[in-house]
């Protein structure tokens, strides 16, 4: 699976959009981008995933660049409850239930 | 409600003792996983099982053992051979479609005294 690079930490004001970047310059054509988040002392929670088109669900939006070498997770109106570590993961879809590899992620602090 | 239940949430043990962490899921998922997390770090894979009666070592399996006798259960034993067992342990599962969407339990925090 391709390696990802994320900033170690970011701040965001409550009510504003949080834009979390992820670099995956070695991504291959059949690899998807997944985002998870982990609130302190809890298990990670799946947020969203995508291949090349932008994706949106009730939690967030995922913007993938045209060359697929980077992506941005957008939380449109961040709240204090969005304070968490956000993990960007790249892996091939449908590969026999192999485990995901979690890096260190980005620690997002939403400020009141 | 469907989900993954880990127990105990907190556990203390003395050095040299084995301890078993429980993970039960009622999601009817085939695949289950154990991860370890140290403070400020990401998750590292210990063991995973894609089907009943079968499991594979992950990246840091030394000092750990697992069993998968039932689809819904995947217990992890931390043995006395694990040199630094104090950590946060997370169990996860996913369904047959292999969407990459893992469902995690709330974790078990093990402290060795």
CB distance A48 to A73 below 8 Å? yes
Contact A44 B102 (CB under 8 A): yes
Listed range (A73-82, A87-96, B70-79) with the worst mean pLDDT: A87-96
pLDDT, residue A98, reads 65
CB distance A64 to A53 below 8 Å? yes
Confidence of residue A97 (pLDDT cuts 50, 70, 90): low
How far is it, in rounded angstroms, from Cα A111 to Cα A104?
21
Greater confidence, A94 or B37?
B37
Name the residue among A41, A97, A103 with its Cβ closest to that of B98.
Answer: A97
Q: Which of B100, B102, B106, B109 to mutate to test binding with chain A, by most A CBs within 10 Å of its CB?
A: B100
Mean pLDDT in residue range A21-42: 92
Listed range (A9-13, A27-31, B50-54, B93-97) with the worst mean pLDDT: B93-97
Q: Which of A4, A43, A47 to mutate to test binding with chain B, by most B CBs within 10 Å of its CB?
A: A43
pLDDT at A58 over 80: yes
Contacts of residue B39, defined as CB under 8 A and 6 or more positions apart, other chains included, come to none
Give pLDDT tens digits for B70-113: 999 999 999 988 889 999 999 999 876 556 788 999 999 999 98
How far is it, in rounded angstroms, from Cα B46 to Cα B58?
5
Which chain B residues are closer than 8 Å to A44 by Cβ? Answer: 43, 90, 92, 102, 104
How far is it, in rounded angstroms, from Cα A41 to Cα A24?
27
């Amino acid at each position: 699976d391709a390696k990802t690079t994320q900033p170690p930490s970011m701040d965001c004001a409550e009510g504003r959009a949080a834009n979390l970047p992820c670099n995956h310059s070695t991504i291959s054509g059949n690899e998807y981008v997944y985002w998870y988040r982990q609130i302190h002392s809890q298990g990670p929670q799946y947020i969203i995933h995508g291949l090349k088109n932008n994706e949106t669900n009730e939690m967030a939006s995922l913007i993938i660049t045209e060359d697929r070498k980077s992506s941005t997770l957008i939380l449109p109106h961040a709240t204090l409850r969005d304070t968490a570590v956000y993990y960007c993961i790249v892996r091939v879809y449908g590969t026999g239930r192999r485990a995901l590899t979690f890096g260190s992620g980005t620690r997002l602090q939403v400020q009141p | 409600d469907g989900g993954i239940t880990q127990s105990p949430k907190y556990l203390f043990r003395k050095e040299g003792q084995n301890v078993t962490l429980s993970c039960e899921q009622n999601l009817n998922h085939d695949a289950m996983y154990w991860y370890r997390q140290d403070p400020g770090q990401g998750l590292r894979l210990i063991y995973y099982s894609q089907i009943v009666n079968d499991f594979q070592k992950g990246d840091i399996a030394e000092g750990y053992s697992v069993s998968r006798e039932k689809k819904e259960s995947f217990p992890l034993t931390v043995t006395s051979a694990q040199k630094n067992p104090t950590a946060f342990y997370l169990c996860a599962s996913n369904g047959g479609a292999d969407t990459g969407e893992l469902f995690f339990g709330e974790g078990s925090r093990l402290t060795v005294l």
